[in-house]
Amino acid sequence: MSKQRAAVIGVGQTKYASTRGDVSMAGLVREAAYRALEMAGKGWSDIDAVVIGKAPDFFEGIMMPEIYLAEALGCVGKPILRVHTAGSVGGSTAVVATSLVQAGIHGTVLTLGFEKQSESNAMWALSLPSPFTTSINAGAGGYFSPIIRRYMEYSGAPELIGCMVALKDRQHALNNPYAHVRDKELTFDKVVESPMLWDPIRYSETCPSSDGACAMVLSDEAGAEAHDGPVAWIHGTAMRSEANNYGGRNVVSPKASEDCAADVFAQAGITNPRAEIDAVEMYVPFSWYEPMWLESLGFAEKGEGWRMVESGATNIDGGDLPVNCSGGVLSSNPIGASGMIRFAEAALQVMGEAGDHQVEGAKKAFGHAYGGGAQYYAMWVVADSKP
Amino acid sequence: MRDVAVVASMQRQEPSIDNESEVEYMVPLMHGVKESIGITQADVGFTCSGSSDFIAGQAFSFVMTVDGTNPVPPISESHVEMDGAWALYEAWVKMQMGEIDIALVYGYSKSSGGSLRDVLATQMDPYYVAPLWPDAFAIEALAARQLIESGRVSLEQLAEIASRSRDHAASNPHAIRTAQKSVADIMAEAPIMDPLRPSDIPASADGGCVLILAAGDRAKDLCDRPAWIRGIDHRTDAHTLGVRDLTRSMSAKIAGQKAGVGNDKVDFAELYAPFTTSEFLLTDALGLGEDTVINPSGGTLGAHTMMASGLIRIAEAAQRITNGDGDRAVATAGSGPNLQQNLVCVLEGE
Amino acid sequence: MSGYQQDPKIKPTALSGEVTMPAAIGAVEQVQSVRTPIAIDYIATPGASLSAYLRGMKQKKILGDKCPVSGQVFVPPRGVSPVSGQRTTEMVEVSDQGYVESFNVTRLPIKSRPDLNPPYVSAWVVPDGANVGSISLVAGIAPEDVRIGLRVRAVWKPDDELEESAANILHWEPTGEPDFVLDDLRIIGKPGGQQ
């Protein structure tokens, strides 16, 4: 048996916000699922299986919440699979869902990522005290800032490149009504003047905490052909993991990131990513990760990613490689869904359904997620035509 | 369906593993199982694991354990917040596409660090049920009461299940509840959560299991008698108490049908049945009869390692096929209150 | 066809209906949230390697795990080498001096350490004799003077206050030695084995 074709035929998102107090967890996931189903022209009975992802259960204080969500996700009597691969989980979940279609197991699969961080205290969830180590690490920014410092010194990038990325993604978010952070008043000076949290990372260069869910309906080839609406064909998917601390590890461009990109581009027949990809949705929770990933993924030469940022190449307005037209993780961050949003936004671009943040004529798009100590990766390439 | 088989496995289960961390006790199993068939991580095309942060008491707990897989250079890898049996399912799906020939799968937990009865109560509906703090045994006892009242099973029959499981566990080096006990003695036990008696409940253990899947000719190279996966499916029931019929397992029934359990004679079955009542529900739903030996390992009444027990059922069934003890076996995995989710796997020797 | 994703304020059709309540409770204010505190106690076990490390700390010794294949030394030890995928079997003492691999200046307080007054320097310190670093507090120097490669030494608690705890090292301070020069700023730790 060989790999079957698979496609996205529906995408649904919730409005992202720091607190979605108007809905329960079940209400939140159903809101995204219904939007995806309606776009796909499907009902619950058309769905063969559900693949759901989210970050640590401690975020909501519920062990394996998909067990309680079985009815809300319409999967009584059906298979439900729960993925958890740290921050990359939203992307990994979409990859696992894709494999169910590609392997010929199911014809129509609903995949969904969510996080309702307001239901619990995320800072508490992430810093359950260990009696064996001393904690001086203030959240993810505390972990990633030393890596960013290494990149800054290695590349010799101007100090304010991160601020440029932060402003660009927030300006992109103004064109995305689903985005959490939409600040029309934000200026470059305000970003630069925002307080340093983990020097060299400023407040405005940091992602928010959001409630939200993102869903996609995936279909086999026959279903996608019969579908009366836009379709994003999946041209490649890949996942890679590596250890986060060993002597000789490249933390600026981890090998797992490079291997994963090489794999997914090879599957999609892409030899020159910068020329062949029309829109990129990459996981950038701290602004400096945009130039770092541009290099690691092969969109820029090593040490030169910041030049793309500086030249405006990644801006939807005039850039040749628009990155995070949705506003990215810097503008919306329901952790368990953040990776899936990248994958879904890439799909929307090639479906021509990205609304005010549509890249004109986008034919191939790239979705990316990472997690853990920059050690878990999930990626996909989607296009407007069959592979 | 592409031919995929279980070719090797290793497990460890103990009442409590106090002097080693999860990764410390899993590494010898991960390394050992690869060594036992002469492969290294470089031969493994996909790695997948199952574990739970709530049992570990730590967010991202699986990140610590991935180091044991030897992920330098990077590996193609995934993780489910489910029993390792679902990690096996994910790997099996991946192998169906024909690009990967060998997968490594593991599941583990050290539940002795927290009260499992309390931890599992956090699986309940967070708005209506969990705030009442029903412990996991209480939820199970509710279902047991319904089942007994329905007249479909008696306390004596449940005691027979418990007694037979102890007999089988006595010859399993990995089992931890191995003291044999007669039906009469079990009938005389004082209930701990009426109607459940000490012998009706799982024998909680710390531990884990690592298993290797291989496809086609590669499986034949690595194992004299691979245990071929001839069917595998998983389903969920409703969660809301009162919506489900707790005296029947619809999810196991559908999964069993999809996996083809009834297509031929079943020599033995390794059932994920934490409670004696769960075994009754499963044999009923899968239509297993007198000619099928149930839980030759002693099952989860002999040793129950959360997040690994389902995978261990598949490993136990596969090992018996490989040993030539039978030709066709069924293994199941379960999750959630009252076995809300069930996975059924059919294994054959030819 | 287009416009599926335009307005998040428009509910999906399936969710756009109104929920009608019985007249008797129609006027009752809707519950917006409920608070259900959860508390579960866990007994954490450090494992074999970390236990040995903590016992070493009481004697002002920093112990690491040595990979039986690559010779890499990991501190703090976890009992496994990701480089070989094998259980480590040998523990070695490393120096209480080392260098700053990289760092940040943290300017926000953290709940678990009320004793830390921002700004403070959170650094990855690689002890001499180890291949990797771990997150450590660097003090005794102005935050703006800290740099990659800075040589530092551990400042221990007074002998009569030593416990089996990583907190025995209060912080790391500059030694005054010339900086350690990194070959490649992208790489952390030392790739080779230790003699």
Would the CB atoms of C187 and A230 count as touching at under 8 Å?
A: no
B123 in reach of chain C (CB within 8 A): no
User: Which of A31, A131, A137 lies at the smallest CB-CB distance from C15?
Assistant: A31
pLDDT reported for residue C115: 86
What confidence score (pLDDT) does residue B307 get? 98
**Is residue B319 situated within a structural domain?**
yes
Tell me what pLDDT residue A128 has: 61
Residues B103 and B218 in one domain: yes
Residue C132 in contact with residue A247, Cβ under 8 Å?
yes
* Domain boundary, last residue among B160, B187, B222: B222
Domain boundaries, position A33: 6-122+208-226
| Contact call for residues A66 and A80 (beta carbons, < 8 A) | yes
Nearest-Cα distance to chain B for C5, in Å, is 30
Contact yes or no for A240 and B75 at CB 8 A = yes
| C76 backbone dihedrals φ, ψ, rounded to 5° | -70, 150
Q: Is A138's pLDDT higher than 80? A: no
Cβ–Cβ below 8 Å for A246 and C54: no
Residue A36 lies in a domain: yes
Mutate to test the interface with A, among B53, B100, B254 (most CBs of A within 10 A): B53
* Higher per-residue pLDDT: C43 or A346: A346
For every residue of B174-216, DSSP letters joined together read T-S------HHHHHTSPPSBTTB-GGGS--B-EEEEEEEEEEH
Mark whether B318 and B235 lie in a shared domain.
yes
Inside any domain, residue A102:
yes
Return the beta strands (E) in A14-154 as ranges: 49-53, 80-83, 108-116
| pLDDT tens-digit series, residues B79-120 | 999 999 999 999 999 999 999 999 999 999 999 998 999 999
Are B211 and B307 in the same domain? Answer: no
How many domains would you assign to chain A? Answer: 1
Within 10 angstroms of residue B151's Cβ, the number of other Cβ atoms is 8
The pLDDT value recorded for residue C1 is 38
Q: Tell me the shortest Cα–Cα distance from B116 to chain C, in angstroms.
A: 10
Which of B222, B253, B285 is the C-terminal boundary of a domain?
Answer: B222
- What pLDDT digit, counting tens, does each position of A107-123 carry? 999 999 999 988 876 65
pLDDT of B231 above 90 = yes
A178 is a domain residue:
no
| B171 to chain A, closest Cα gap in Å | 34
Determine contact: C31 vs chain B, CB below 8 A.
Answer: no
Reported as a single tens digit per residue, the pLDDT across B301-333 is: 999 999 999 999 999 999 999 999 999 999 999
Q: Is C51 on the interface with B (CB under 8 A)?
A: yes
Closest Cβ opposite residue C33 in set A21, A145, A243: A21
Percentage of chain A with pLDDT > 90? 90
- Look at residue B177 and tell me if it is in a domain: no
Amino acid in position C125: V
B106 shares its domain with B41: yes
Report the pLDDT value the prediction gives residue B122, as an integer from 0 to 100: 92
Q: Which residues in chain C have their CB less than 8 angstroms from residue A201's CB?
A: 104
Instruction: Pull the structure tokens for residue A355.
Output: 């609304």
Return d(Cα A127, Cα C123) in angstroms, integer.
Answer: 18
CA distance, residue A128 to nearest chain C CA (Å): 9
In a domain, B246, yes or no: yes
B316 occurs within a structural domain: yes
- Quote the domain boundaries for residue B107: 4-113+205-222
Residue B291: inside a domain, yes or no? yes
Distance from CA of A296 to the nearest CA of C (A): 12
pLDDT of residue A129: 62
Preferred mutation among B63, B120, B249 to probe A, highest tally of A CBs within 10 A: B63
Phi-psi region of A161 (alpha: psi -120 to 50; beta: other; left: phi over 0): alpha
Look at A81 and B80 and tell me if their CB atoms are within 8 Å: yes
Q: Scanning every residue of chain B, which has its alpha carbon at the shortest distance from the alpha carbon of C37?
A: B131
A83 domain residue, yes or no: yes
> pLDDT band at residue A60, thresholds of 50, 70 and 90?
confident
Put simply, the answer to whether C166 touches A134 (Cβ < 8 Å) is yes
Reported ipTM: the value is 0.97
Task: Please state the φ and ψ torsions of residue A63, each to the nearest 5 degrees.
Answer: -80, 125
Nearest residue in chain B measured CA to CA from C44: B113
Could you tell me how many CB contacts below 8 A there are between chain A and chain B? Answer: 173
Euclidean distance between CA atoms A137 and A140, whole angstroms = 8
> Which residue among C34, C42, C80 places its CB closest to the CB of B23?
C80
How many CB atoms lie under 10 A from the CB of residue B154?
Answer: 11
Residues of C in contact with A38 (CB under 8 A): 4, 12-14
Q: Which of B19, B27, B122 has the CB atom closest to C80's CB atom? A: B27
In this structure, the answer to whether residues B248 and B324 fall within a common structural domain is yes
The pTM (predicted TM-score) of the whole model is 0.97
Interface test with C, best of A134, A137, A253, A293 (most C CBs within 10 A): A134
Is B122 in the C-facing interface, judged by CB distances under 8 Å?
Answer: yes
Nearest-neighbour CA in chain B from C105: distance (Å): 25
Say yes or no: B211 and B279 in one domain.
no
The chains found to touch B (3+ Cβ pairs under 8 angstroms) are: A, C
B94 is a domain residue: yes
Nearest-neighbour CA in chain B from A284: distance (Å): 20
Q: Do A133 and C111 touch (CB under 8 A)?
A: no
Structural domain ending residue among the three candidates B175, B197, B222? B222
Same domain, B72 and B209: yes
- The domain spanning residue B58 has which CATH number? 3.40.47.10
- The answer on pLDDT for C195 being more than 60 is no
Encode B89-116 in three state secondary structure: HHHHHHHHCCCCCEEEEEEEECHHHECH
Residue C179: pLDDT over 50: yes
> Domain count of chain B?
2
C-alpha distances (whole Å) from B37 to each of B26, B40, B73, B315, B324 are 18, 9, 21, 15, 18
Q: Does C80 touch chain B (CB under 8 A)?
A: yes
- Give the pLDDT of residue B138: 93
Least Cα separation, residue A30 to chain C (angstroms): 9
B295 plus B215 within the same structural domain: no
CB–CB contact B68 C80 (8 Å): yes
A23, part of any domain:
yes
**Do B86 and B211 lie in a common domain?**
yes
- Same domain, yes or no: B209 and B240: no
Contacts of C14 in chain A (CB under 8 A): 34, 37-38
- Residue at B188 is within a domain: no
Question: What CATH number does the domain containing A37 carry?
Answer: 3.40.47.10
Residues of A in contact with C110 (CB under 8 A): 127, 135-138
Co-location of B339 and B297 in the same domain: yes
Q: Which residues of C77-104 are buried (b: 16+ CB within 10 A; e: fewer)?
A: bbbbbbbbbbbbeebbebebbbbbbbbb
Residues B263 and B296 placed together within one structural domain of the fold = yes
Chain mean position to CA A333: 9
- What confidence tens digit (pLDDT) does each residue in A354-373 have? 999 999 999 999 999 999 99
Whether B344 maps to a domain, the answer reads: yes
Look at residue A17 and tell me if it is in a domain.
yes
Q: Looking at residue C103, what is its pLDDT?
A: 97
